[in-house]
Structure formats: C-alpha cells, structure tokens
Structure 1
Amino acid sequence: MSQNKQIKSNIIRQGSSHSLWHDPYHLLLTIDWYWFLGLIGLAYIMTNALFALLYLAGGDCIQNARHGYFWDAFFFSVQTMASIGYGAMYPLRECTYTNILVTIESITGLMVLTVATGLMFARFSRPTAKVLFSRVAVISPYNGVPTLMFRTANQRHNQILQAELQVTLVRNQVTLEGEFMRRFYDLKLVRSQSLVFALTWTAMHQIDRGSPLYGATAESLAQMEAEIVIMLTGIDDTVSQAIHARYSYMAEELLWNHRFVDILVRKGDGGSVIDYTRFHDVRES
C-alpha cells in the first residue's frame, strides 16, 4: 500500500473564502475515482434531463415520441448528445425550434466529451509514486551517536532515479520577545541522495551538537508538538517523469531506544531475500 500522509495540522483557516468548488479542475483531478465517475455520470444525466425538458417545451416535434413523455425526450437527448444516430425517433424537419436545440446539444456534447476525455487522460497520465514508509521512526545509537532512523521502500518493480530525501523538523517555539512561531529546521541525513532507488532505504540523521534535535527528549518534543516531515523526490524510470512522496511522524510516533528489525535474510546459496512482512517491526536496543 502506498503511503502519502498529509502533514498534520490543527489550524483552522478563518476568513479564507477558498473552497474546493472554486477550483473544479483541481478538484476533479484529485478526488477519488468513485467520486470522479459519480460526478461525471451525474453531470451527464442532469444535462440530458435539462435538454429533455427543453424538447418537451417545444411540443410534439420528435417523430414517434409519445406526447409529453419525459423518458422518450430524455433518450432522444442521449442519442443526440452521444451522436449515436437516430433510430425510431428523430426531429421533425418542419420544427425549427427542435432542430436548433439539436444543434446546440450537439455542440454541448462535443465540448463535454472533450473535457471529460481530457480529465480522464490527465488522471491516468499523472505520475504517482508507490513508496512505503515505516509506520514509526526510531532513535537509537549508531556508531556511538544517537541517530534518528526511518525506512522507506519502492513498492514498484522499477527504479526511482536520482532519488532525494529531505527531512524537516517542525515544532512550536516562542521567541525572546514572546511571539509564538511554528519553526522549520532541516535535518541533515547521512545519505540524502541515491542514484538508483529500487528496493529499501534506511534514512539516518545523527543527533550531534549541530542537530536541531540535540538535547531533545520524548517529553519535550511532545510539548512542542514536534513533527518530522519527509519528502522523497525522484524520476520514475518507466515514464521518465518526476514523482514525489511525503510522510510525517508525530512525537508519539518516534520510538526512543529502539532499532528496526533486519529484513535482509541471507540464503544458504549465497543469495539474499528482503522480507517486507517485517518492514515495520522494531525491537528495543
């Protein structure tokens, strides 16, 4: 399962008039597929229902349609919008109103089909990352230095080229003047780049005197509402497009004096196996 956890925030935007419906293109690109298909289907049905009412308002101008029968007008509208080709029902030649309405609906159907096709293609072609992050991060000595560590893995059977990890500590802070701020501190990794990211990657940040985490404890991080934010970027070698994945760890998701269980198992024939079933497992150090 891909993980792309949103950065947590308990801040309410007050006085902002921005709404998802004010940016419908972005909304239709980002909502779940079942909502997308549902909205497209609903818009299609409502548009045909509107044209059906307009056809009924013109009187008996559709050949072989029952007088005042909504569903005959509705299915006639579907045939017109989809350019299926008329069967038993067709517009009467002498009814100018209906023929003008058919022309308008044909143009409308062409534009709706173009927009829907573009949105569908944009959703399918949008590059996405299948990156797995460990559910928790650990802090334990590594080569004698306290080190923050977390795991990440590429879930696709391909490679992420020029992969780069950026890790940021976000915490509350009060300045000497008494002003409250939400501060961001970059955490330097032992290795922040990988030319080829194909399997797993254990990221490590040494907590030395130059680290923003130096001297921190589980209690102090919780008091400051600290959060470790991770951003992974790279190029998917299959589609040659930039991709990204993000994750975050709250203070309670940092396990002190723990280590990750080894997931690399060596076989008797000299080969190795990566056991992803133990990817999230930790042990006390």
Structure 2
Amino acid sequence: MRFRVTRLSKKQKQRLQPRVNIKIRDGQFHVEGMGAWYSYWRDPYHLLLTIPWFGFIVMIAVAYVAINATFALAYLAGGDCIANARPGSFLDVFFFSVQTLASIGYGAMYPKTTYANTIVTIEAMIGLVGIAVMTGLAFARFSRPSARVIFSKVAVITPYEGLPTLTFRAANQRRNLILEAQIRVYLLRDEVTAEGEAMRRIHDLKLLRHQTPSFTLSWTVMHVIDQFSPLYEMSAESLVQTNATLVISISGIDETVAQVVHARHSYGAMEILWNYRFVNILHHTDDGHRYIDYQYFHEILSLDETN
C-alpha cells in the first residue's frame, strides 16, 4: 500500500501558521486568536449581522462617505461638468453626489455634459443597489429572533430521591411563552483512549425532563448521577483535573414571532458546587395563591449548614 504525501503551498502555510490558543480560566475553556486564522472581512455579510449596532452604523457611514467621495473625484476629473457648481470645488460635487446617490434631486445642480450624465447613471444604479442591500441588512438585524433566558450563576449537586443530582435553573425573562421548549446538557471533558490518545470527549446527560410544552417562568433542570451517568464516581477534584465543562442549549418557538429561538450557557468545573441546594423561589400567599420570587434565583445553601 502506497501513501501520497501532500505538501502545502507557501500561501497555505501562511494561512495555517497562526495558532488558536485554548486557555482555561476559572474552570472554563477560552479560545483566543480566532481572528488570527479567520477574518470576518472574508465574510462581510456575517460581519454586518453580528457586530453591534454602533459598529454597524459606523461602517455604513464610512462606506457612504467613501462612495460619495469617490464619485466626487470622478466629477472633478470631468472638469466643469456640473451646472451651478463652483469649478474645482470638492464640496459642491460631493454634495451633488449625495443628492444623486439618494435620488433627492433638488435641481440646483445638475449634469450638463455627457461625461457627467454617464457618471450620474452609474451612481444612480449603485445607489439603488446600496439602498436595497442596506434595507435588507437592517431588516435582517431587526427580525433576527433571540431568546432572553437567564441561567443560575452556578450548578449544584444535591441529593434528590436518595441520589446525587446535578441541578441548575433557567428562567424566561420575557413575558411571552417559548413553546415546545427543549433543553440539552452536554458534559465536555479531557479523556485518554485505550490507545493512549488524549481527546476532548462530549457526553450527553440524560435529564429528568428535557422538554416542556411552554417555557413561561422558571425551569429547574435535573440530571440524576447514577451508574449510567458520565458524572458517576466523579468529584470536584476530578472535574477540575479533566477540565470538565457543562454546555447547555435551549431551543423553542417564540409565540410572538412564531420563530425558533435559541439560548446557551456553560458552567466550568469551578462553577459546579457539591453538597449545595438552591433556595426555594416558589412561595404561597396567605390566601392560598403562589408566586415566584426571583430575588433568590441565584441563591444557594450549603447542605452542611442546613443539616
């Protein structure tokens, strides 16, 4: 059997040279250097959808000024081709470009040569395309569905029905419903295979209830640590040694926009506390009604202190 060795070109090596560093801080993985091997400028559509609104507006403003400045220079190159514009005035032809690009047409300045009309035609076409693109991007940013789900600051391992149980809380911060909500919990940790190869392995954690018809207020997520659990016979020290991380993913249909929304969270090894329990947030009034007090949503109690 023959094997072919593929050699990378110089350009391919330059693209692969920058390293992506994985560091562990507070028990969580942090990936650094992502921008070194991948630039968002290669995917401008994704960049314009993901940057904050301030950055989006700044980029649009810079592009708008640059386009008008370019056409202003083109008009200046044509000499005295714009009526009522001062000869050689960059400001006059710049603002004429603004009027043309936005299809304002005040009528005070207008093209008077074939060269100027040609540039105006090109700029008008670019203006139509630019308005369509910017409108689509703005609408995509506004209409992008998002969930406002809060998670408890820590996860705890507490007894439930006589078995240690991993528990954390989630709550819907909006006043609407997330229909057919589903939650998945994954355990990521470093392991060594039988062949001695180190790898980062992902385990699915089975939950007592992984879905609900409507996620309205709060959700206490529970995973029983029995002999079938990946967390079986693990301790706080072994979680740190294996760089364990819990990754949570929630998805459902937002009843307001009728679109699928997602939320995710993660807990590092230092954020999984043993022998603690959450403070009860469900209370009863004197007349028999129930209410939830989110003031204690993140509060926990040590089992050693309560016993």
TM-score, normalising length: structure 2: 0.87
Give yes or no for the alignment of 1:117 onto 2:145: no
Give runs of aligned pairs for residues 33-52 of structure 1, distance below 5 A. 33-52=53-72
Decide whether aligned partners of structure 1 residues 39 and 105 sit closer, same or farther in structure 2, where only a CA change above 3 A counts.
same
Deviations 1:162-204 (Å, cap 9, x if unpaired)?
1111000000011121101000000000110101111100000
Bigger relative CO (Cα 8 Å, ≥ 6 apart): 1
Match of 1:159 in 2: 177
Match of 1:134 in 2: 152
**Pick from 101, 104, 108: which aligns with 1:81?**
101
Match of 1:186 in 2: 204
Counterparts of 2:31 and 2:56 in 1: how far apart (Å)? 28
Match of 1:19 in 2: 39
Tell me, what secondary structure is at the counterpart of 2:94? helix
Give yes or no for the alignment of 1:54 onto 2:74: yes
Match of 2:270 in 1: 252
Q: Which amino acid aligns with 1:151?
A: R
Counterparts of 2:155 and 2:76 in 1: how far apart (Å)? 65
Tell me, what secondary structure is at the counterpart of 1:35? helix
Question: Which segments of 5 or more consecutive residues in structure 1 lack a partner in the other structure?
Answer: 1-6
Could you tell me how far 1:43 is from its partner in structure 2? 0.7
Counterparts of 2:98 and 2:34 in 1: how far apart (Å)? 43
Could you tell me how far 1:238 is from its partner in structure 2? 1.0
Deviations 1:86-113 (Å, cap 9, x if unpaired)?
3321111xx1111100000000000000
Match of 2:4 in 1: none
Tell me, what secondary structure is at the counterpart of 2:157? strand
Tell me, what secondary structure is at the counterpart of 2:62? helix
TM-score, normalising length: structure 1: 0.93
Which moved further from structure 2: 30-39 or 105-114? 30-39
Match of 2:23 in 1: none
Counterparts of 1:189 and 1:40 in 2: how far apart (Å)? 46
Could you tell me how far 1:48 is from its partner in structure 2? 0.7
Identical-pair percentage: 58
Match of 1:149 in 2: 167
Tell me, what secondary structure is at the counterpart of 1:113? helix
Paired residues in the alignment total: 276
Give yes or no for the alignment of 1:172 onto 2:185: no
Tell me, what secondary structure is at the counterpart of 2:234? coil
Could you tell me how far 1:277 is from its partner in structure 2? 2.1
Tell me, what secondary structure is at the counterpart of 1:158? coil
Tell me, what secondary structure is at the counterpart of 1:157? coil
Tell me, what secondary structure is at the counterpart of 1:238? coil
Question: Which segments of 5 or more consecutive residues in structure 2 lack a partner in the other structure?
Answer: 1-27
